Chain A
Amino acid sequence: MSAGGGEGESPRATDRPDAGSGLNSHTDGIDLRLEGSLSALAGATGEAPPMSGALAAELDGLAPATMRMPRRAWAAVLVISLFYALGLLAWMGVRDDLDRLPAMWLYGVGAVWLAAFLAIGWLILVPPRRQVMPRWRSATALAGLAALLLMVGGLILPESVATVGATYAPSVASVFEHGHSCLRAGLAVAVVPIVVSALAVRGAVPVGSRWVAVAIGAAGGALGGLILHLHCATGERFHIGLVHGGLIVVSAALAAIAARVGERIRWARER
């Protein structure tokens, strides 16, 4: 069996359930007999069952399929998403206090948003070498880390940034009142990367599809956050932390819900 494990891991000789447990260190007696029983229970693999009519019919006039090219798919998602996001930014307008913001904050935070979008997208769309399934576990972990970093980063907003932007009384009501338009704009940006990423990875995720959806949603949310960073002139800490940073979480949650709904529709159709 050739290597094919997930997350870029290669199977090893010691990569067994009882490796290092000491169970195989004395394979006389019950262990050896248990191994024999498990081998017996494994059953004969034997011949392949005859192909069903439906499967055989699919082979009549089999046409070549365009195989997935992950790096190219990632690049395509990147170009389409950035083109769309920058178009939306041009339409919504760039924040008018851009030249007064500290360059470190402007470029540093912008780079984090962009890096989160690129890296999560890469992990979801480009599988490890010689594998088909994406690294959804790493992608989800990175999405969580990015969300945490950007939310906390917003909540501890430096004074030099907070004094530049527009402010409002920091209450739950005002965060919601001022936040919903940013959330709407961010989600509008996130829609396209989510849809094109889902199309690009379709068929490659028989396991962890909900987590893949979470990661894809987070990547879209990161791009939305980048656009909000360049569009929204609010300097309120809770707004930046909870609304802009929280966009990753909201987008990921909505994508997961959409995946769940899609799954239920598929089950209903198959029933």
Chain B
Amino acid sequence: MSVEADLMTRYCDGDAGAFRELYSRVAPRLVAYLQRMSGERATAEDLVQHTFLKVHGARAAYVRGADPVPWMFAIARRTFLDEARRRKRARVQVSGGDGRLPEVAAALDGTPAADGGAAASPDPDLVHAALSALSRLPPAQREALILTKMSGKSIAEAAAITGVSAGAMKLRAHRAYVALRRALAAVGVGGAS
């Protein structure tokens, strides 16, 4: 049983401390995901509160021992879509309205965090260009890339969260990646031809 599954089970058994621990483990991941979707940190934090309220209200639907994280991501996504509909926003931007970049991943000492290799020092121009290209992707492709490349979800998890088949998710993410690569190559960023 995963740590989250254990915490969720204890929370459903009435342990408020387990809920706080679960919140501290999952909320940052949800904030990061929703921030990428909405482009606004404050909105993302607000949506996370709504998401956890919904999780709390639906906790009787939880199955003992199951991994609650994909379910929570799916609830967060639903909450985000409801909010977007409520605001009557036809197209949700990845970047904020003020045009600033989202926070860059950073280690505790302030250096950029990454998996390693050259990815540890991204070119600022390339980051800006990637952000711009990302915001121009069709929403479904953008979401696929956000979940698989930026939220660390597998294809199967991303498919379960969004409610599409694994094949469709893989295709969307691949197309998004190729489109992003082409867009960056077209503007000649990063030495691409």
Known contacts A4-B70, A17-B170, A32-B119; A43/B102 CB under 8 A: yes
The binding surface of chain B is classed by DSSP as helix
Beta-carbon nearest neighbor of A70 in chain B: B63
A residues lining the B interface (CB < 8 Å): 1-7, 9-12, 15-18, 21, 23, 29-49, 51-52, 54-55, 58-59, 62-70, 127, 130-133, 136-137, 201-204, 206-208, 211, 267, 270-271
B residues contacting the other copy or chain, number (CB 8 A): 107
Contact string against A for B residues 1-38, beta-carbon threshold 8 Å, 1 for contact and 0 otherwise: 01011000101111110011001110111011001100
Contact string against A for B residues 70-112, beta-carbon threshold 8 Å, 1 for contact and 0 otherwise: 1100110110001001100000000000000111111000001
Beta-carbon nearest neighbor of A54 in chain B: B53
Known contacts A42-B32, A43-B103; A37/B177 CB under 8 A: no
- Indicate if the CB atoms of B121 and A36 lie closer than 8 Å: yes
- Indicate if the CB atoms of B82 and A267 lie closer than 8 Å: yes
Chain A contacts of B170 at CB under 8 A? 15, 17
- Indicate if the CB atoms of B85 and A267 lie closer than 8 Å: yes
B residues lining the A interface (CB < 8 Å): 2, 4-5, 9, 11-16, 19-20, 23-25, 27-29, 31-32, 35-36, 45, 48-49, 52-54, 56-71, 74-75, 77-78, 82, 85-86, 101-106, 112-115, 117-123, 126-127, 129-131, 134, 144-145, 148-157, 159-163, 165-166, 170, 172-174, 176-178, 180-181, 184-185, 190-192
Q: Whole-angstrom distance between the alpha carbons of A45 and B121 in the complex? A: 18
Q: How far is the CB of B134 from chain A (nearest CB, A)?
A: 7
